[in-house]
Chain A
């Protein structure tokens, strides 16, 4: 179960917003993370708390293939990302990082600051602020196995170990 308060964003939040290009040269993800989403919300990186949930509209994570985008969000403790839709590379990178990414057509109904309980296994979300409940399609097949292992690397190691 993931429980956290939400940060709400709009459509087409691209990877240059999640981690601007000029900070990719910094040596550590933690340094990069201090600049995450600063062009959208100056206070995001300093005020986000572990377990907080990002809620966005269409095409979240569009733009570059930089894996630093989901990685800085993980470093900041983001518990899950819910969006109306995701850009494909970001979605794949997030699964590889073990970050829950949830496609929810009604994501736009969730407000900034709402408290959510998310159950990944059953595919349900409860908005504790207003009592609304949502269901979503859990991942299936190989992406689900990668997610269940905690990401692509643990998945590869588990395959290797069982071979």
Chain B
């Protein structure tokens, strides 16, 4: 019998099996269940009124994170935060965060560990493969059932491998790798798959940058992402949490594990990439879309608002001014990132250049809070989606790119290759 991928091994461990195979349906116990204010009103209603639950399976394993509309921008959203806080208090859930940052960033900074199985009420929950966990997004009924029962059903996904070779050129980052992959796979090409990133280039990519790869597997239709934990993973977790996480030598993919397909990306061949409206797979090298006039530049979202992202953008912004036709919105991914960027002077750099800084949260990425677009307006964003109307008017346009490309474009007022600022 062939070996297992790490994704299969983790699912097997959580289903009381020695082994699982793709397409099997298993009932799996869940280590952590996350929900946010985007859907908590619905979640609470289903949990209490439809399921009729009176307790959660384990209050320590549920994490509630307000991030979609923080601070509240309407009486309705304030009510959602209130409903969420009351839910946390009622069921003894200690891990309730009202202003700590974007849910996926907070989960990685504080909660997720290698080998865990995590579900969350958000489609980018599959980001947590970045630290070697199996994680996937679900809707509110599934999440409410997990909150009550601590388990869920899963169809074991087929794994595909993305092998990264070669060294990235200056000003080219993981956002450019994942956009190039999505161009190849299309936005549905890896539907239901577990996407495992491997290859020699990974060793040179810091964990926070790997996050961007895992985060945007959602945009290929994937169910989950995976990077087998290495020294860098454990070092990152120790640095963030101040404690060592015991290393489990079995958290590997077997040499004879089966992958349905392997994509190889030569990082050294990549230029900065841009996804054009209105589909994430509408990707071209930045040169092919350079010169498009923008009204807003957004540096934020779970995809690209960690300290390394802010540093890359600040390196371009420093000593310059934002173009007069552009609003430049900067939203750090978490309170931790915000504090770090203040201490490093990045916030001063952005503010002096004319940026708007907003509190950590989903911000302009999802078009229902701050930085929304009017009809006819165009934004270049470090986020992960450019669907029609995603950030405001149905007649607006979104381009997706790396922090460096967004920063360069903010300075010039048109989509710009960041290498012009090297």
| Residue from the set B38, B145, B188, B388 with the largest chain A CB neighbour count within 10 Å | B188
B277 beta carbon closer than 8 Å to chain A: no
Partner of B42, one of A16, A38, A67: A67
* Complex contact B38–A14 (CB within 8 A): no
Report A-chain residues with C-beta under 8 Å of the C-beta of B125. Answer: 65
Interface flags for B386-397 (1: CB within 8 Å of A; 0: not) read 011110101000
Report A-chain residues with C-beta under 8 Å of the C-beta of B38. Answer: 24, 64, 66
Once the chains are docked, how many angstroms separate the CA of A92 from the CA of B372?
30
* Complex contact B39–A12 (CB within 8 A): no
Q: A59-B187, A67-B42, A88-B223 are in contact. Are A25 and B368 (CB under 8 A)?
A: yes
- The total number of A-B Cβ pairs within 8 Å is 116
Interface flags for B223-244 (1: CB within 8 Å of A; 0: not) read 1000000000000000000000
- Residue on B nearest A23 in the bound complex, by CB: B368
Interface flags for A15-39 (1: CB within 8 Å of B; 0: not) read 0110011101111000000000011
CB interface residues, A 45-75, toward B, < 8 Å: 58-59, 62-68, 70-71
Report B-chain residues with C-beta under 8 Å of the C-beta of A92. Answer: 138-139, 142
Interface flags for A146-160 (1: CB within 8 Å of B; 0: not) read 000001110010000
Once the chains are docked, how many angstroms separate the CA of A88 from the CA of B390?
20
Partner of B221, one of A17, A27, A68, A87: A87
A89 beta carbon closer than 8 Å to chain B: yes
* Complex contact B188–A65 (CB within 8 A): no
* Complex contact A22–B139 (CB within 8 A): no
Total interface residues on A, CB under 8 Å, equals: 39
* Complex contact B388–A17 (CB within 8 A): yes
Report B-chain residues with C-beta under 8 Å of the C-beta of A16. Answer: 367, 385, 387-390
Once the chains are docked, how many angstroms separate the CA of A12 from the CA of B240?
38
A115 beta carbon closer than 8 Å to chain B: no
* Complex contact A65–B137 (CB within 8 A): yes
A131 beta carbon closer than 8 Å to chain B: no
Once the chains are docked, how many angstroms separate the CA of A22 from the CA of B77?
11
* Complex contact B153–A142 (CB within 8 A): yes
Chain B at the A interface: SS class:
loop
Report B-chain residues with C-beta under 8 Å of the C-beta of A38. Answer: 394
Report B-chain residues with C-beta under 8 Å of the C-beta of A88. Answer: 191-192, 221, 223
- Residue on B nearest A59 in the bound complex, by CB: B188
Q: Give the shortest distance, in Å, between B146 (CB) and chain A (any CB).
A: 11
CB interface residues, B 307-362, toward A, < 8 Å: none
* Complex contact A12–B187 (CB within 8 A): yes
Partner of A25, one of B74, B121, B188: B74
Q: Give the shortest distance, in Å, between A13 (CB) and chain B (any CB).
A: 10
* Complex contact A65–B221 (CB within 8 A): no
Once the chains are docked, how many angstroms separate the CA of A140 from the CA of B149?
23
* Complex contact A65–B153 (CB within 8 A): no
Report B-chain residues with C-beta under 8 Å of the C-beta of A17. Answer: 387-389
Report A-chain residues with C-beta under 8 Å of the C-beta of B377. Answer: none
Q: A17-B388, A66-B38 are in contact. Are A87 and B191 (CB under 8 A)?
A: yes
Q: Give the shortest distance, in Å, between A45 (CB) and chain B (any CB).
A: 14
* Complex contact A58–B188 (CB within 8 A): yes
Q: Give the shortest distance, in Å, between A113 (CB) and chain B (any CB).
A: 24
B211 beta carbon closer than 8 Å to chain A: no
* Complex contact B51–A64 (CB within 8 A): no
Q: A58-B188, A62-B221, A89-B123 are in contact. Are A39 and B389 (CB under 8 A)?
A: yes
B76 beta carbon closer than 8 Å to chain A: yes
* Complex contact B77–A25 (CB within 8 A): yes
* Complex contact A85–B191 (CB within 8 A): yes
Partner of A59, one of B138, B141, B145, B221: B221
Report B-chain residues with C-beta under 8 Å of the C-beta of A76. Answer: none
Q: Give the shortest distance, in Å, between A93 (CB) and chain B (any CB).
A: 4
* Complex contact A153–B46 (CB within 8 A): yes
- Residue on B nearest A60 in the bound complex, by CB: B188
B176 beta carbon closer than 8 Å to chain A: no
A97 beta carbon closer than 8 Å to chain B: yes
* Complex contact A66–B25 (CB within 8 A): no
B366 beta carbon closer than 8 Å to chain A: yes
Once the chains are docked, how many angstroms separate the CA of A64 from the CA of B390?
11
Once the chains are docked, how many angstroms separate the CA of A71 from the CA of B279?
24
Once the chains are docked, how many angstroms separate the CA of A142 from the CA of B121?
21
- Could you list 12 A-B pairs, sorted by A, with CB under 8 Å? A17-B389, A25-B69, A25-B77, A25-B368, A38-B394, A62-B188, A65-B39, A88-B191, A89-B123, A93-B142, A96-B141, A152-B145
Interface residues of B (CB under 8 A from A): 25, 38-39, 41-42, 46, 50-51, 69, 74, 76-77, 80, 121-123, 125, 137-142, 145, 149, 153, 187-188, 191-192, 221, 223, 279, 366-368, 372, 385, 387-390, 392, 394
